[in-house]
Amino acid sequence: MIRTALLAAAVAVSTVAAPAFAAGPFDAAIAGPWRSAANKARDQYRHPAETLAFFGIKPGQTVVEVSPGGGWYTEILAPALKGKGKYVAGLANPAASENAAKSVEAFKTKFGDKAIYGDIGIGVFAKGVPDIVAPGSADVVLTFRNVHNWHMGGWDQEAFNAFFKALKPGGTLGVVEHRMPEDRPDADMKKLGYMKPSYVKALAAKAGFKLAAESEVNANPKDTKDYPDGVWTLPPTYQLKDVDRAKYAAIGESDRMTLKFVKPR
């Protein structure tokens, strides 16, 4: 079993509630009319203002989001950083396959309106590609609910090594991930979509990061994490479709760890 002791880090780590973010740099983007009603409905589970405040993101920074998927956070980060910073999406390697190339083009098309999103940067984040962006050029690297995918694909450590390389000394890595209880078998992380916090912290420590703080802003105590199809049983996926849908809707989205790491200066 992988234990937290693997971190071996002599650094004080705080568990904090995210600070208030009133009149913050992301408020206008969170309220933006370009965001769909469905995406805004998920704010109650994803807590974008509080999460971004916890990670300490500021105007003027270069922020790299790896594997942004459909761009839920892109709709917030890119407009907020437009003209006063830089948003970079770490996307699949378009040279890897036709599907990868199509996904990159679809992302560029979806977020091509520069009046809203500004000039979005595109980096390559993929297995076997060591540089997402120019080494040491990012102030912040973010990943939301992705670590389980890299773990199941067998390249989670490679991913964290790439994050470390991309960041400036003193830069921040922000991780949000579905949280598995520490007493579950390690093998469950390969199939249920939940990850143990100790395992994620060990990946970061091995890459060279120091854990700075933890937040419970994305916690959900209703999530029992024992579903037929793992985390995908819950919304927004509803893997079981209409089977017990009301039950899973009442639980809401998954319980998530929110971790802030720093690259030492």
pLDDT grade for 20, boundaries at 50, 70 and 90: very low
Nearest to 209 by CA among 261, 260, 169: 261
pTM for the whole structure: 0.91
Superfamily holding 4-262:
Vaccinia Virus protein VP39 (3.40.50.150)
Work out the average pLDDT over 84-109. Answer: 97
Instruction: Say whether pLDDT at 24 is over 80.
Output: no
| Identity of the amino acid at 64 | V
Nearest to 264 by CA among 146, 136, 170: 170
Locate the domains of the chain by residue range: 4-262
The helix (run of H) or strand (run of E) holding residue 249 is helix 245-251
Q: What is the pLDDT of residues 173-202, one digit of tens each?
A: 999 999 999 999 999 999 999 999 999 999
Residues 75, 58: Cα–Cα separation, whole Å:
16
Q: What is the pLDDT of residues 108-155, one digit of tens each?
A: 999 999 999 999 999 999 999 999 999 999 999 999 999 999 999 999
Q: What is the pLDDT of residues 67-85, one digit of tens each?
A: 999 999 999 999 999 999 9
CA trace torsion 60, 261, 165, 5 (10° rounding) = 180
